[in-house]
Structure formats: C-alpha cells, structure tokens
Amino acid sequence: MNPSDIFSLAYDALVDRKIRTILTVLMVVLGASLVVVINGLSAGQSAFLEKQLSSLATNVIYATSGQRSYYGGASSQSSLILNSVIINKLRALPYVTDVVPQYSGSVTIDSYGNVQRVSVVGMDPNKLTVMLPNLQYVDGSTLSPNDRSAAVVGDTIANPPGATTPFVTVGQTLKITYSYTDSAGKSQQEVRNFLVTGIMKPSGNTRIDNALVINPDAANQLLRKSGRYDSLLIQTTDDTYVNTVQQEITDIYGKNIGLTVPQAFLQVRQQTAQGNAMFVEMIGFIALVVGAVGIVTTLYNSVTERIREIGTMKAIGAQNSSILALFLVEAALIGIMGATLGLAIGVVGGYAMTSFPSHTGGAGGPGGFGPGGGSISSFPPIFLPQDLIKVWLLSVSLAVGAGIFPAWKASKLSPMVALRRE
C-alpha cells in the first residue's frame, strides 16, 4: 500500500471516531502544554535570576540582626541591634571598605490620587551603587543624600507595568503614608510629602526597581525606627574577601547576626528553581505518559472494534506491515495533533500565566535591598525553539510508541479468526 493510502485510511478511522480521537488528542495536549509551560517558565526564571546575578555587586555581604534564612524571613532571635556602634565596628574590620546602613518598611504612596503600596528604604542614595554597580538614572535625576524631603524612585514604581502614563515623574511631589500600631495598640499614620528628585532606570533587581529610596534620617523618623537599622550592606575590598569577612563577622557576633551573600543566595535560588523545574517537568512527562496510555487504550479499543475490518483487509491481501503501519499512523496523527496543539496552548498559556498583575508593593519589611525574589510575572517565559522541538518530538514519539502494541496486535491477527468475530 502507498503511504498516502495508509494515511488516508488512518485519517478516516480517526475522523470516524471523532469524540474518542478528540479526547485522546486532549490527553497529549495536556501533557505537551504542561511541559512547554514549565520549560518556558523555567527558562524565563533562569534568565531572570541570571540577570539579577549579573546586576549585583560580587563583593557585598548583606547583614540583618539575628539569623536570616535564604528565603528572606528574619528569625525571632534578634538580640543584636544594628546601630552606629556595630557599623563602626564592622567598618574597622580588615578588607571592609564600606558599611551602608538601611532602614526599610512598607508605605503607601499617593500621586495625584493614584495609590501604590511600595517598599521604602532609608539609605544614602549615592551608596546604591555599592549593591548595583551599574545602576543608572533617568535624565534630570539628581541625588540629594542630605535632603530629608528628597526621594529616588525605582523604575517599576515610576512606570508600572501595563500603565500608559508614568505614576510619577522627576520634580513631582509624592505623599507617603506609613501605618503602624502604637504602644497602646492603636492604629496610627505618619504622613509626609517628598519631592521626587530621581528615577532609577531598570536595574535588573526586582527589589530596587520596586523601591523608594529616601534619606536615612527621614526614614528613621517616618518609619519610627529609633535609630535601629534593619540591615547593613557590607562592602569588601573585592569578592575574594567576601568569605573571609563573613567568617570574621560570624566569629564576633555568632548567630546574633544574619549574613547573606546575595550572589550565593541567588545561586542557591537558581539551583532550587532548577530542581523545582525538573520536578514539575517530571509531572509534565508523567502527564505525557498518561496521554500515551490513553492512546494505547484508544487504539486497543479501535483494534477490537475493527477486528472484522482488519480481517477483511487481510483477506483481500493487506500485508501485516500495512496493518501495522495503519495503526501506527493513527497513533502518530494523534501525537502530531496533540503535540502541535499542546505547543501552541503551552506558549499562549505561559504568556497568559505571566500576564497576571504582580504584587510589587509591600515587599520591604526588614529586608531592605536584600536579594530579591519576584512574582511569577517577574519571569517572562522564554520558549526556545530547540525546547519546543524537543517536546514535540517527545510527544509524537511517545504517541507512536504507545501505538506499537495495539498495531502489532492488529497486524498479527489471523484473518480467519478476525472474520469470525462479531
């Protein structure tokens, strides 16, 4: 039989059992799209973390009071108060070139009636480059470290994703509201106006892009910190001394101080993300295998139902190989349709998932400019052609593989036995 005849017969057979074919194709679609979405998001996340890594200084240690996990939460153990005494002591350590104190919190900002909840960091804006050596500002920006009413705004605050007009521009006044509970348990608000003197260009660091930087004294007052810093950026001579300095600080303060090297943190995050992606990818693969089992079931049923047809075809001269090919082509068609649709849905689904609005505000807390996280929308998916081809081939191969057993059964049927079946 010619390949085109086999294709035509296989296609007719699938069309004849539309609903079953569609359901089987859907199984493959589900598996393929799941793998595509996971691949895309994983690649996007990797690229995102890579960007974060490359944007960060390599000679910085991030310190908080008490032990701090890689995932950001400070422990309840916070016996060490980060104040000027500690800062001076750290500055005196060998290989430490600078210590930048930070206050941090979460505030509401109001610009012409538009409101955002954002992180606020009180620090010398000139020292932002300690953390991000390549940080740049939009034209017209000026940094006024001693001006208690000046604010520098991150790119995501100034230009919220999806917005057609900027939230704030240089020279504009922002109303900042800090809400807290006083010692009597009453809710209180501290409201102050700040002048936006600078806007940062996209830095590649989510936390910084989502933050507002103000003068440390102003932050101390606004956030009611009483001179207790939330975190310190410790700059070493170069990255080769990071571990040495980290060890020195640990020797002095033990578990009373939490130290994180942002680069190491992000690397661990990246490894964790890769591990998670592999795990979820396994789930996708299992979904594909389930789809393959569906194909086995569908084709096996099809062989049983078409047993007389197979018998007739063999009686009139069809070779075993033609019957085998017929069912394998049916399996391949299911695989091709499922894989192709799965790829399309996976790509669209990946973008759809990342188009949900992200939660950019309120990320401050005690962490300040620590190594940032990022919501799912921070990682635009990346669909590499080679990954898509790999998933497509895997789906089609699994489908054809699943078709082998039913096809083999059909090809080995005795025509006499098949013709006798009702």
Partner 1 sequence: MVEESTKIDNIDLKETALAVKNLSKIYDSSAGRVVALDNLSFSVKKGEFVSIAGPSGSGKSTLLNMVGALDRPTSGHVYINGIDIFALNDSMIATMRNNLIGFIFQSFNLINRTTVLKNVKLPGTISGMSPSDANARAMKILEALGIADKATQKPVNLSGGQQQRVAIARALVNNPAIVLADEPTGNLDTKTGEDVFDMLKTLSHKFKRTIIMVTHNPELAESTDRSILIRDGRIEKDVVN
Cα 136 to chain centroid distance, Å, stands at 25
Of the candidate residues 83, 169, 274, 322, the single one contacting partner 1 (CB under 8 A): 322
Nearer to partner 1, 315 or 352 (CB): 315
Told to check if 20 binds partner 1 by CB under 8 A, we report: no
Question: At 97, which amino acid appears?
Answer: T
Told to check if 239 binds partner 1 by CB under 8 A, we report: no
Looking only at residues 385 through 414 of this chain, which bind partner 1 when binding is defined by CB under 8 A? 414
Structure tokens belonging to residue 283: 């789930």
Cα 235 to chain centroid distance, Å, stands at 29
Told to check if 85 binds partner 1 by CB under 8 A, we report: no
Nearer to partner 1, 355 or 414 (CB): 414
Question: At 81, which amino acid appears?
Answer: I
Nearer to partner 1, 321 or 355 (CB): 321
Nearer to partner 1, 184 or 316 (CB): 316
Told to check if 304 binds partner 1 by CB under 8 A, we report: no
Closest CA to 150 of 174, 114, 129, 180: 174
Yes or no: say if 339 and 28 are a contact pair by the CB < 8 Å rule.
Answer: yes
Kindly state the DSSP code that residue 130 receives in the 8-state scheme.
H
Told to check if 309 binds partner 1 by CB under 8 A, we report: yes
Of the candidate residues 54, 126, 136, 319, the single one contacting partner 1 (CB under 8 A): 319
Whole-number Å distance between alpha carbons of 57 and 41: 26
Yes or no: say if 342 and 36 are a contact pair by the CB < 8 Å rule.
Answer: yes
Told to check if 5 binds partner 1 by CB under 8 A, we report: yes
Told to check if 318 binds partner 1 by CB under 8 A, we report: yes
Of the candidate residues 177, 312, 340, 358, the single one contacting partner 1 (CB under 8 A): 312
Nearer to partner 1, 269 or 314 (CB): 314
Nearer to partner 1, 63 or 325 (CB): 325
Told to check if 315 binds partner 1 by CB under 8 A, we report: yes
Of the candidate residues 1, 57, 138, 289, the single one contacting partner 1 (CB under 8 A): 1
Yes or no: say if 233 and 130 are a contact pair by the CB < 8 Å rule.
Answer: yes
Nearer to partner 1, 116 or 411 (CB): 411
Whole-number Å distance between alpha carbons of 342 and 67: 45
Least Å from the CB of residue 403 to partner 1? 19
Q: How many residues bind partner 1 (CB under 8 A)?
A: 26
Yes or no: say if 202 and 155 are a contact pair by the CB < 8 Å rule.
Answer: yes
Instruction: Sort strands 150-153 and 187-199 into parallel, antiparallel or unpaired.
Output: parallel
Of the candidate residues 303, 313, 388, 400, the single one contacting partner 1 (CB under 8 A): 313
Told to check if 308 binds partner 1 by CB under 8 A, we report: yes
Of the candidate residues 19, 85, 184, 316, the single one contacting partner 1 (CB under 8 A): 316
Told to check if 216 binds partner 1 by CB under 8 A, we report: no
Least Å from the CB of residue 309 to partner 1? 6
Nearer to partner 1, 4 or 181 (CB): 4
DSSP-derived 3-state class of residue 63: strand
Whole-number Å distance between alpha carbons of 16 and 12: 6
Kindly state the DSSP code that residue 178 receives in the 8-state scheme.
E
Whole-number Å distance between alpha carbons of 27 and 396: 12
Region near partner 1 per CB under 8 A, out of 178-186, 274-282, 310-318, 335-343: 310-318
Told to check if 22 binds partner 1 by CB under 8 A, we report: no
Told to check if 419 binds partner 1 by CB under 8 A, we report: yes
Of the candidate residues 311, 364, 381, 406, the single one contacting partner 1 (CB under 8 A): 311
Least Å from the CB of residue 303 to partner 1? 15
* Strand residues in 23-73 grouped as ranges (E): 60-65
Yes or no: say if 40 and 346 are a contact pair by the CB < 8 Å rule.
Answer: yes
Yes or no: say if 403 and 298 are a contact pair by the CB < 8 Å rule.
Answer: no
168 Cβ partners below 8 Å, 6+ apart? 109, 111, 153, 157, 158, 174, 196, 199
Nearer to partner 1, 2 or 165 (CB): 2
Whole-number Å distance between alpha carbons of 161 and 167: 10
Least Å from the CB of residue 386 to partner 1? 39
Region near partner 1 per CB under 8 A, out of 22-30, 118-126, 252-260, 308-316: 308-316
Nearer to partner 1, 9 or 396 (CB): 9
Whole-number Å distance between alpha carbons of 19 and 357: 37
155 Cβ partners below 8 Å, 6+ apart? 199, 200, 201, 202, 203, 209
Structure tokens belonging to residue 42: 């994983």
The residue ranges that bind partner 1 (CB under 8 A) are: 1-2, 4-5, 9, 12-13, 15-16, 308-309, 311-320, 322, 414-416, 419
